[in-house]
């Protein structure tokens, strides 16, 4: 390895702010949380998946502005779908929220150099948005569970309709909040 | 403003990720009737829809400036930028990469500001303070300015380049107590040996044509019956010619807060001496030899002239080539001046030039600016060569002192006192008159 490049990395590590370290830590822990949700549901670990997701999460924490996170999310989602065969478990929205947190923190970290400090107001705004996204996810899960228990035919269409309603309401809420603030 | 390139709003990998997971997930849930996929894909679809709905339409307008553009060592300047039309922007990040001799605040050079859409303002301002720790001309930037939309989905980038900050050397503390060299100018603070229009009493003499009426000494005139005037010594200035050796730089420079190299000491000492004499009302000229670029400042006085001298000192760039040495041997020698040469005396050219100036009848002093702790590398041969060169240097210095050119080590305030006292003593000593 080029020594100048190595020195550059060392300098970058040295110059990383404490807040960025926390963001990167959340980036690593969030997909592992999704894996833990699967483990909590089925009761067994997936060691190979754990290694793969950890490596991918670390890679995306180092280079958040890349498509590595997409692969990590795909691995976690595929693991859930292959391992778990039910939707009425609360670990499903938990895993989904973990993936949302992973995406959000990764997206936020990608917009800042490693030495940067995210303004508190921006952090709070992102946290609020993520919580709103999490509540939408929980709402969708409740809807899916409800439809699943009714065992009605045409669940997909109803689900799509539900999604459309959710998206529309989200858009209206967002538009109203912007107009109200102006 | 010197924005070199602006990239329009473009989607980020995060937006791509949200759309892919959201669309593929919902599509798969509908096609394969797996509701768990829908739950997993919902947050990404939510983010993708939100991001798309809030995609900024207009590119922000960046206005930036750096002020002040000329500072002293240790002082700070500020790069400030303002982005207008940031209605759909979530936050703005600016990054000033680290530069030698520039300390940024914050230390990382990264500043960010969140755009609060709660009030009516549609602007976002970011600023980076930069402290220059070494004299010279410093390039600032390129500074990246990035505006980010909601969820980091879209980014707008601008590259701000082309700023240059001139950092003037901070003159060291310098003072000289002894009286001055004989004065030869027209105006100034020093008493000339010649009578003229000044303030110091010389004597009373009979009135001559051309004498001013206000000089008439009425008491003496009444007593003697003839008009007498009070004569004075002329107040005149000194021309101090500074010669700066910029052929090479020895030692390690740590900026204003660290160790000083030979060129640092030379430049700061030259600034200090120039400031001292200019504030006394004397004329100071500057000649830099062995430097690329502008190297001569004609004699003048005043605070404005100090700035001119510091400007030339700030852009000294040692020319170690053979051409630089050849150029160093040339240059005009002032008619009558107090010549002060500042040099680390490693190159014999400076001493040869000092002897040459002295041979023209000028009073010359050489200020030795070589730091005490110049470390060479660990190579034994280089170390030996350096020691031999220092021994040769001692011999050269002795030979120059033997021809009457004093060599003084720079020690800050009072460095030139023995030399100035000596030349004042010489000027006051009785001289053999030719009859």
Question: If you average pLDDT over residues A148-156, what whole number do you get?
Answer: 71
Nearest-neighbour CA in chain A from B77: distance (Å): 20
Which range is least confidently modeled, A63-67, B91-95, B171-175, B397-401? B171-175
Question: If you average pLDDT over residues B163-188, what whole number do you get?
Answer: 67
Q: Does A87 touch chain B if contact means CB atoms closer than 8 Å?
A: yes
Structural tokens at position B420: 């100035």
Write down the residue that tokens 């791509």 correspond to: B16
Nearest to B108 among A115, A118, A136 (CB): A115
**CB pair distance less than 8 Å for B117 and A129:** no
CATH T-level fold of B61-168 = Immunoglobulin-like (2.60.40)
Question: If you average pLDDT over residues B405-413, what whole number do you get?
Answer: 84
- Cβ distance B317 to B342 under 8 Å? no
DSSP track, B136-147: EEEEE-PEEEEE
Q: Does A154 touch chain B if contact means CB atoms closer than 8 Å?
A: no
Residues 6+ positions from B28 with CB-CB distance below 8 Å: B34, B37, B41
Q: Hey, which residues does B249 pair with through a beta bridge?
A: none
Q: What is the gyration radius of the CA atoms in chain A, in angstroms? A: 19
**CB pair distance less than 8 Å for A103 and B49:** no
Question: If you average pLDDT over residues B369-392, what whole number do you get?
Answer: 82
The domain ranges of chain B are 12-53, 61-168, 190-236, 239-428
CA torsion, ordered B421, B423, B425, B426, to nearest 10 deg: 170
Looking at per-residue pLDDT, the higher value among A101 and B408 belongs to: A101
* Per-residue model confidence (pLDDT) at position A179: 42
pLDDT in tens, B302-342: 888 999 999 999 988 887 766 655 555 566 667 777 889 99
Share of chain B above pLDDT 70, in %: 84
* Per-residue model confidence (pLDDT) at position B342: 92
Q: Which residues of A touch B147 (CB under 8 A)?
A: none
- Cβ distance B112 to B91 under 8 Å? yes
The domain ranges of chain A are 3-181
Kind and range of the H or E run holding B374: none
pLDDT in tens, A16-25: 888 899 999 9
Write down the residue that tokens 């960010």 correspond to: B112
CATH number for the domain whose boundaries are B239-428: 3.40.50
* Per-residue model confidence (pLDDT) at position B3: 63
List the 7-26 stretch of A: residues with Cβ below 8 A of B: 15, 17
Complex ipTM: 0.86
Half-sphere exposure of residue B21: CA atoms within 13 angstroms, side-chain side: 31
Residue A169 vs residues A138, A164, B191: alpha-carbon distances, Å: 15, 8, 91
* Per-residue model confidence (pLDDT) at position A182: 39
Nearest to B42 among A87, A96, A156 (CB): A96
Strands B363-368 and B407-409: parallel
| Helix pair A155-181, B13-32: axis angle to 10 deg | 150
Nearest to B49 among A86, A155, A170 (CB): A170
CA nearest to A165 within chain B: B46
If pLDDT is split at 50, 70 and 90, which confidence band does A166 have? Answer: low
Which range is least confidently modeled, A119-128, B74-83, B229-238, B264-273? B229-238
Q: Report residue A63 CA to chain centroid gap.
A: 16
* Per-residue model confidence (pLDDT) at position A177: 45
**CB pair distance less than 8 Å for B155 and A111:** yes
Q: How far apart are CA B171 and CA B274, in angstroms?
A: 9
- Cβ distance A24 to A109 under 8 Å? yes
Structural tokens at position B1: 């403003």
If pLDDT is split at 50, 70 and 90, which confidence band does A45 have? Answer: confident
A104, with CB counted inside 10 A (0-12, 13-18, 19+), is buried
């Amino acid at each position: 390895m080029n020594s100048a490049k190595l020195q550059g990395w060392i300098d970058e590590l040295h110059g990383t702010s404490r807040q960025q370290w926390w963001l990167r830590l959340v980036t690593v822990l969030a997909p592992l949380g999704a894996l833990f949700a699967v483990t909590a549901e089925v009761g067994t670990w997936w060691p190979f998946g754990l290694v793969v997701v950890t490596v991918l999460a670390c890679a995306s924490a180092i280079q958040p502005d890349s498509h590595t996170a997409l692969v990590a999310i795909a691995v976690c989602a595929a693991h859930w779908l292959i391992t778990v065969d039910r939707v009425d478990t609360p670990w499903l929205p938990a895993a989904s929220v973990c993936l949302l947190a992973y995406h959000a923190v990764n997206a936020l970290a990608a917009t800042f150099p490693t030495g940067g400090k995210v303004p508190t107001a921006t952090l709070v705004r992102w946290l609020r948005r993520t919580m709103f996204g999490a509540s939408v996810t929980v709402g969708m899960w409740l809807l899916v569970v409800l439809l699943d228990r009714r065992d009605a035919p045409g669940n997909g269409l109803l689900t799509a309709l539900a999604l459309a309603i959710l998206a529309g309401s989200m858009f209206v809420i967002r538009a109203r909040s912007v107009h109200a603030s102006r | 403003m010197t924005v070199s390139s602006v990239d329009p709003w473009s989607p980020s990998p995060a937006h791509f990720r949200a759309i892919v997971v959201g669309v593929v997930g919902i599509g798969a849930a509908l096609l394969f009737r797996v509701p768990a996929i829908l739950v997993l894909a919902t947050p990404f679809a939510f983010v993708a829809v939100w991001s798309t709905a809030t995609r900024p339409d207009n590119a922000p307008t960046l206005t930036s400036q750096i002020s002040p553009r000329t500072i002293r060592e240790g002082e700070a300047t500020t790069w400030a930028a303002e982005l207008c039309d940031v209605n759909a922007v979530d936050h703005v990040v600016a990054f000033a990469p680290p530069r030698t001799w520039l300390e940024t605040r914050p230390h990382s050079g990264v500043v960010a500001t969140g755009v609060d859409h709660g009030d009516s303002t549609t602007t976002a301002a970011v600023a980076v303070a930069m402290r220059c720790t070494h004299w010279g001309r410093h390039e600032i930037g390129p500074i990246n300015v990035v505006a980010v939309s909601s969820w980091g989905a879209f980014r707008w980038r601008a590259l701000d380049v082309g700023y240059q900050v001139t950092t003037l050397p901070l003159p060291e503390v310098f003072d000289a107590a002894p009286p001055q060299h004989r004065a030869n100018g027209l105006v100034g603070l020093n008493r000339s040996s010649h009578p003229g229009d000044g303030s110091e009493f010389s004597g009373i003499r009979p009135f001559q044509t051309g004498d001013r009426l206000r000089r008439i000494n009425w008491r003496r005139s009444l007593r003697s019956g003839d008009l007498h005037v009070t004569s004075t010594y002329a107040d005149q200035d000194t021309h101090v010619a500074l010669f700066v050796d910029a052929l090479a730089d020895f030692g390690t420079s740590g900026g204003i807060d660290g160790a000083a190299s030979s060129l640092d000491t030379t430049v700061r000492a030259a600034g200090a001496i120039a400031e001292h004499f200019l504030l006394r009302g004397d004329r100071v000229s500057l000649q830099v030899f062995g430097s690329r670029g502008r190297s001569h400042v004609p004699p003048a006085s005043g605070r404005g002239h100090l700035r001119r001298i510091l400007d030339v000192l700030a852009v000294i760039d040692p020319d170690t080539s053979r051409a630089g040495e050849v150029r160093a041997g040339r240059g005009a020698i002032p008619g009558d001046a107090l010549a002060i040469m500042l040099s680390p005396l490693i190159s014999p050219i400076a001493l040869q030039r000092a002897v040459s100036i002295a041979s023209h009848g000028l009073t010359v002093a050489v200020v030795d600016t070589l730091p005490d702790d110049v470390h060479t590398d660990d190579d034994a041969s280089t170390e030996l060569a350096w020691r031999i060169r220092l021994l040769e240097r001692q011999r050269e210095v002795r030979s120059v002192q033997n021809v009457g050119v004093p060599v003084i080590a720079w020690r800050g305030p009072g460095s030139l006192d023995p030399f100035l006292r000596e030349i004042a003593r010489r000027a006051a000593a009785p001289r053999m008159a030719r009859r």
